Structure 1
Amino acid sequence: MERRLAAILAADVVGYSRLMGSNEVGTLSALKAHRNELVDGKIAEHQGRIVKLTGDGMLVEFGSVVNAVECAVKIQREMRLRNADVPGDRRIEFRIGINLGDIIFEDNDIYGDGVNIAARIESIAKPGGIAVSAVVRDNVNNRLDLAFEDTGEQTLKNIERPVRVFNVYLGAPQPGAAASAAQAAAKSATPVVPERQSIAVLPFTNMSGDSEQEYFADGITEDIITDLSKIMGLSVIARNSVFTYKGKPIKVQQAAQELGVKYILEGSVRRAGQRVRITGQLINGTDGLHLWAERYDRDLTDIFAIQDEITRTIVDQLRVRLLPEEKKAIEQAPTGNVEAYSYYLKGREFRHRFLKSNLLRAKQMFAKAIELDPLFARAYVGIAICDSLLRFRGDTSIRFDDILRTAVKALEIDPSLAEAHAARGFALLVADRRQDAASAFQRALTLDPNCHEANQFYGDFSVTGGDLETAMKHYTRALEINPEDYHSVFQLMSILKSLGRRDESEKYARLGIKRTEEALRRVPEDSTPAQLTAVALAALGERDKAMEWLARAQAIDPDDWVIRYNAACTYAQLGEADRAIDLLENCLQGVGNDFKRWFKNDSDLDSIRAHPRYQKLLELAE
């Protein structure tokens, strides 16, 4: 056992659990790249020693406190650049804490208060920031051209005495900042990436005492998320990520850490007849302090005014500058008819469940909303998206010109609806108007980069055009936006296999199987997860399990032609070429050009392309 003085750097990934939940393969790959290309090199350059690695963090020992701080600053500034074009909810950001103190060295590991304090300081550092103890600040203050923010004495978990903590200044100087900060910013060759305030809106609790009103509370939550997402100065966690917290006991500070945000909005909704009570609380996720709380007791007809007030209050509290076009967008009520809005929220709730029967039910709700308000653009979008998803799942009775007509109607009323452009793009893709489809998808993603349907449909468009790199980009984004999306996961499996990246392909196959098993537990009457699981298991060479899952899918939907196609993909990968081709001959008769293009580019069928009967299949696909 040896005692010595050392600078200890503790680091971890902000929101690691959320990142892993949305895309564990992509997260691990990105984290590995950051370490290999940046972090490990900087540590070595500054004579540091990596003592311990955890799933999302590390403990590093430095002989020099100056080296420790300089290393941390270079890592965080470079990470800002790396994250500049990465959506907020998929960025890998580090928190770093540094302390200088006595440590115990034994069996190649380190212990003691010096280590514990560094770890506790790291836990209160800002995302993408560096927090240091007073002794660190005192030792480097005149030796590095940096400025520090004094946060005062902090009570740290399991540390007997309060510790004075400073944040290291990394960005551009604010008015009144110390001259040394201005000099540091001027001298630094590293461009500064503006930092946006980050917030998550947790699902509002239904306090109505009626489970049938759950859709209303969820709808209010989703619309507040939508309004906040329109504001450039805010980074807002997507709906599907926050709804994983629905119905669970929540510790706000833990949720903020898992989601990688500074602020949390939570609340409740109580609806009784034509009256509604909505409460909201804005909480600092770092220290748990309430920044704002309000209760609204209003007529139901004031529901849009309440949402507008909540959004405006958050903007004011976080001191975010609201642009004129953003102000106009959040003030625009989707409909003047509250009953139509209620039907729309019911339809949206059904639409999120994806099962065919739920999509049909959702269409009924949207149609009722349109009866009550023929100018309700979002309701037309709802029908267009439902029809797109039904067609996507193999329902050829859905006509592409009907989808196109409905989407165009929505856009005539409100051209700013990203989902309407996505549905229009899907219809144009089915109609084989590919150039127009690409423009529609690009417009949708310009309006809302977090539009799940736009990313997924654009991925499919890219696969059928043979552009696998673009397809990978949009499928990766789609599965991160929606943690329940297994379609995009399996498409990445197939694409990576085509590109010869089998290790990554197998990881996505395992991730996809995990998601489909969860989907079948939720909705056992849906055959789609079972079909795709069979294909993935076949790709992994697990014949018996693949056949078991295929039989399960066929038992649920024996007459579904999409099952026959996925069965062909399963057999092809298991080496049963004739059996696969028998099924494909049946599938390819009477289908549209969109499916024929898919068949020609589907890597699951690569093993049968040299088969003599395959040329006849190509003739059917012409």
Structure 2
Amino acid sequence: MSLGSFFIGPYEVSPEQCVLRFQGQETKLTPRNMDVLVYMADHAERVVTSSELLERFWSPVASDHAVHKAISELRGALGDSVRSQQFIKTLPRRGYKLLQAPVGNDADATPPGWLAKLQQRLTAGLDYRKLATVVGTIVIMLGLLSLALNHRPTTSTPDIVTIGVESFSFQGESPNSTSFMREGLRTSLINQLARLRAVRVVALEPESEAAREEDVDHVLQGTLLQADGKLRAMVRLVRSEDGVHEYSERFELQQDSVFSVQDHIVSNIVTALSIHLDEEQRALMYDWGTTNAVAYERFMKGDFYYNQFNPRDFERAIQLYQDAAELDPHFINAHLGIAAAANNLSVFSQLEKQRELLKLVSEVHRNVASVAPDHEALEAIRAIEMRMAGSEYRRQEQVLRRQVLSGDAPSYALAHYALFLIGARLYEEAEGFLDAARETSPFELNPDESWDYRVTIARPEEAIRLRKDQLMLRPKHIGMLGPLVRDLFIEGRPQEAEWYLERMREEDTEGLNLDYTEQMLAVLSGALKPESPELESLYHRDQNYFFNNGAVAFALGDLDRGIDFWARLEPLQKRKALNMIHLSERYFPAAVIDSPRYQQLLEYLDLGLSWQRTLLEGVQAMEKVTGVGMSPAASAAYSQRRFVSRNTAWPQELAVAPRQLPADLLANTANGM
């Protein structure tokens, strides 16, 4: 469609001016939202997927949330809503479709026969906008006439759902003692339900039952049961038209505090009904794998915190996922969420917490096996266990290779093999694996984020841009903040680095990654000198800091101290070594990286030549499936049994940072940090 204006229903769309016009009123759209609307109009005959819109209009690191926000804003501008969906239809697990075909001002299609003549008469002397408004009005009137002929009148407006709330009945030993609570439950429910959008709530008394069918769309019934010192609330939502039970749930709580119990029951019921009354949310809940609306609500909150990507929010996500799994033990994605959040939190945690998190994931594996012994999620959870253990990466490599060669690998397999390749400095091969990796399906949790790995292997200037883009969406993302600070510093932008470093200090509650970044900046700026008291103080820290201490020693050119620290890493710490050594080597002098003693240390850690050769043999074995072969540089090194000490995708001056930064940068650093 050209950039000329066109109509969607009664709305005139003007792409050049980024406005919608309706009855003389203008609504401004953002340029990106207008681009999305025009694209959907150009493809009005089909469903447009979220991934399609992401690829076309957003950066490589944007998420589905950006698309959802744009669609929501477009609906608001068009006077549309998720409930009515007159203009934009959401098709769960598929995408979005424009429901009303666009009509262009310069449309040249001529209808055949009598319709063409009628069109000529109608359009004579009229501008197209007025004609579109008239036709739209006629269509609406015909629709209302059809409703009047085929449906009985109702007191509810089409967009308003009316719920009648009955008094709670009681089953137990002392009904009089709980009468105030039953009425309190109903009153609280009425007050809370009335706050939901597009919901009207009425209290139903026994004498009003005869009029119920005419007055309400749904009836909420409840029973309070008391037994063995426990309270149990049973609620049912019944469609008044035909008596169909649309929703029922049981809430069981200890009778220790009447008011807290009442508040908890009301909160859960309102949450459940808000989801069950929303067709789209209900469909999404089923797609995620549960019929328990409260469990789904906890899961979605957990998913929100998980995607903030920092230690504090990972803790919150784990608790919410655990709540969801407790409410619905068969909710597999909730169990997988616990494992995924624990896995990411472990990356930033000290040893004691790492051990606790590994035990938690093992418990998740047992819980899933008990309710779904053949579920494919067990394989993903086991893969998380192996990577958290730190010392099982060779076994994991074999599992991933076997999965890929089977032709039916899980979505994370190629992406995680790419992570191994990145850690081994085989960036070109890793990029090929990321290109071949299958996209994560909707309603699937994936422990590997391919876009994150792509940022890792991007050249510094490009990585800075991509990380800034990601931090616009997730400003607390601790995995982006540290590398961004270090890259900005190396690129001679210390003021920007300082600003992001302050944000990192607020978000890294575990402290290990913050310490690593601060020590590297101190070395690069010359603030931390060999044999200084400050350095000796660092070297006397406990086991949790051995990786950081070794990196500091190597960056200062001290092979003996660096080898001593890294040779004493515990198995759980080898995961950090696997993922961080290739990044740390940017800060090491070439004499360290090329030293036979350093390469012997890597071989001792099983991260040296033999590990590289294992991965390259895996690349060769999987080539027919992945289409990815060895790069010329890697192939030459493999044939000569030579260690690839620097990633071959970057020029050498980028692969190793300058040993001394410029004097003016050092001055700025001393003043600013």
For normalisation by structure 2, the TM-score amounts to 0.40
Q: Return the structure number with greater strand share.
A: 1
Structure number with greater Rg is 2
For normalisation by structure 1, the TM-score amounts to 0.43
